[in-house]
Structure 1
Amino acid sequence: MTRVTEHGGGVWSLKVPIPDNPLGHTLVHVLDTGRGPVLVDTGWDDPASWTELSDGLAELGLAPVDVHGVLVTHHHPDHHGLSGRVREASGAWIAMHAADIAVLRRTREARPGAWLDYLAGKLAAVGAPEEHLAPLLAARESGRARTLPGLRAALPDREIAPGELLDLAGRRLRAIWTPGHTPGHVCLHLEEDHPANLPGRGRLFSGDHLLPGISPHIGLYEDPDDSTVTDPLGDYLDSLERVGRLGAAEVLPAHQHPFTDATARVRELLAHHEERLTGLLSLLAAPLTPWRLAERMEWNRPWDEIPYGSRTIAVSEAEAHLRRLVKLGRVEAVPGSDPVAYVAVG
């Protein structure tokens, strides 16, 4: 596996492995600036991942101690996990959108077991069977909640403001707020001529927002203390259209590989979600709980073969699609149903 790829114009990517994950690795991007290298994401907090990040930097004649700053596209551990260790090594600043900083702060400050309590209650409310709830309750009782990823994730010391031209010496990098995958996901638009003179407007570090061959997970924004009814899928679709209008010459995502024609990829993803929403309306001709809906949706494998943790993610995605359909007035909750069931309207 090639550890380092040069993209020209003072930009490289490093493959940092994600343990036990089919995605394989996170593409950590290195951006040369007048004050030293800046990383876009850092990878999972794991000894092998740290070694790969360090070795990749060494191939560029650098070390973690040389890093000037870290720009985090979103708070997930395969993107933000090693940020704290980079800061410990170098004194680098860490920047993230305020909405995702709030998620990190809430996670760090929650009492042990609070997340598992919330998750178990939420899954029960959407119709999860007892056999799915049992491991969560067992983990709660055993104290394993203290080992969940992200509980000790580093708090950033800078906020990335939407539309901001970031203070990077010698570079023009603008923050584009793209909520959907997380509430504070950002893409970063390098507003400079493409080094290979490809047609379009610069390059886009897209994180998980825009990927060449897969659609990112769109679940619910989870905040146990906030009753606001969010619409993550609506946020994501709006963000996609905004990114499509940028007309970037090339996209440098955090997974898979770089690609061109971002506008065409945006159109594909918009069509994919429209097709999926239409398919869900057919499934909802009769009332279904979110869990039963998730069982009937099309995934990359049959429901019986989906691992335990991935089922929780799948039902969250089903809920996000339901929220969108409810907001559009095409689905409604069945009055008095417990667990709550939804049905198509009209």
Structure 2
Amino acid sequence: MTQVTEHGGGVWSLRVPIPDNPLGHTLVHVLDTDRGPVLVDTGWDDPASWDELTGGLDALGLSVREVHGVVITHHHPDHHGLSGRVREESGAWIAMHAADTAVVRRTRESEPGTWFDYLARKLAAVGAPEDHIAPLRAARAAGRMRTLPGLRSALPDREIVPGELLDLAGRRLRAIWTPGHTPGHVCLHLEEEHPSRLPGHGRLFSGDHLLPGISPHIGLYEDPDESPKLSTSFEQGGPPSETDPLGDYLDSLERIGRLGVAEVLPAHQHAFTDAAGRVRELLDHHEERLTGLLALLATPLTPWQLAERMEWNRPWEQIPYGSRNIAVSEAEAHVRRLVKLGRAEPVPGTAPVTYVAV
């Protein structure tokens, strides 16, 4: 497929590959400003991805050295991975929401082994079998900690403040805080007439928040600092914190649906219209999933057991190791939402903790 897509009005997208990932690529958007090009996200930190990013800029008659700024929708490595290298080449500033900057800082400052310990304890607490946890312990013992992506992601220079216009000369780009996929995810509303005069109010760089054919992963916000208190919290019959990522995501979706944008420019798949329709589909999807989980929780289950029984894009036996960790985090987020709504509760005295519908 064509690497560069023109969206009109001084906006382009570049397909930057994600190695060994079914998503295939990140759409890095280029926004022309009076001070030079600004990137919305940068792609995965990989030599082939860097070549595609710089090659795409070259195809637009631009050099990476001309990049004026980088606006990050969220901290995940397929979005933020190349930001540091872009800054090294160009002197560009990097902007990110404070909540995701805190994740980047915490990850950089934590010993890599801390993350392996955290994941192992977390998986044990939600009922993962020992044969699933053993590879994490083996990787830590063998010193393979530094292979995790994002351990040394670039710290941003600027804070994205929700509701405010970004300092982009000649453009009106307003930040909208849309937590859920990450605690500091932002969408970016380009408050300018659509170049093709489509009906609606401007365009939306939606990151991973609103995608045309994928429901983004919503799991618990991870924090290795929870690790020492994790087991105790679960033994007492409750989760280690009170965050509600799925509730955050659903609330954020409704805010985006009310914007009335003419077109959505997401970070994966393709541009699309009818944002409000897609928001309704996603709200309905999660309500159906919550209803289905309540039926499963007629019998007490751990989050791991719940994940094994949930519907995924393939049978549980065929889901790869790393994807199972993502799946169980998603199961936890949905259980957390049901507990918040008073539709499920932890069973006192169970370890690992089980949940049951009420």
User: Structure 2-normalised TM-score?
Assistant: 0.96
The residue that corresponds to 2:349 in the other structure is 336
Residue 225 of structure 1 is matched in structure 2 by 225
- Which is worse superposed, 138-147 or 175-184? 138-147
Give the equivalent residue in structure 1 for 2:166.
Answer: 166
Question: Per-residue deviation at 1:225?
Answer: 2.4
For residue 73 of structure 1, give the secondary structure of its aligned residue in structure 2: coil
Rounded Cα–Cα distance in structure 1 between residues aligned with 2:339 and 2:176: 28
Corresponding position of 1:201: 201
Matched AA of 1:244: G
Structure 1 residue corresponding to 2:287, chosen from 256, 259, 274: 274
Gaps of 5+ in 1: none
In 2, distance between residues paired with 1:68 and 1:77? 21
The correspondence of residues 173-184 of structure 1 with structure 2, limited to 5 A, is 173-184=173-184
- The answer to whether the 8 A contact 2:302-2:355 is kept is yes
2:139 aligned partner: 139
Contact 2:112/2:151 (8 A) holds in 1: no
Q: Show CA shifts across 1:72-128 (max 9, x none).
A: 000000000000000000000000000000000000000230000011001001000
1:107-122 correspondence to structure 2 within 5 Å:
107-122=107-122
CA distance in 2, matches of 1:3, 1:313: 29
Question: Offset at 1:228?
Answer: 3.2
Once the two structures are superposed, the pairs formed by residues 69-148 of structure 1 within 5 Å of their partners are 69-148=69-148
Partner of 1:35: 35
Mapping of 1:190-339 within 5 angstroms? 190-225=190-225, 227-339=240-352
Q: CA deviation at 1:133?
A: 0.3
**8 Å CA contact 2:192, 2:201 repeated in 1:** yes
Q: Secondary structure at the match of 2:94?
A: strand
- SS for the counterpart of 1:154 is coil
Give the Cα separation in 1 of the matches to 2:147 and 2:113: 10
Q: Give 3-state SS (helix, strand or coil) of 2:306's partner.
A: helix
Q: How many residues align?
A: 345
Q: Distance in 1 between matches of 2:259 and 2:54?
A: 33
Q: Which residue of 1 aligns with 2:236?
A: none
Check conservation: 2:114, 2:224, Cα contact below 8 A.
no
Once the two structures are superposed, residues 285-340 of structure 1 have per-residue CA deviations (whole angstroms, 9 ceiling, x without a partner) of 00000000000000000000000000000000000000000000000000000110
Q: Which aligned runs of 4 or more in structure 1 are off by greater than 3 angstroms?
A: none
Query: RMSD in angstroms over aligned alpha carbons?
Result: 0.6
Question: Does structure 1 retain, via aligned residues, the 8 Å contact 2:125–2:352?
Answer: yes
State the identity %: 84
Q: CA deviation at 1:71?
A: 0.2
The whole-number CA distance in structure 2 between the counterparts of 1:339 and 1:7 is: 51
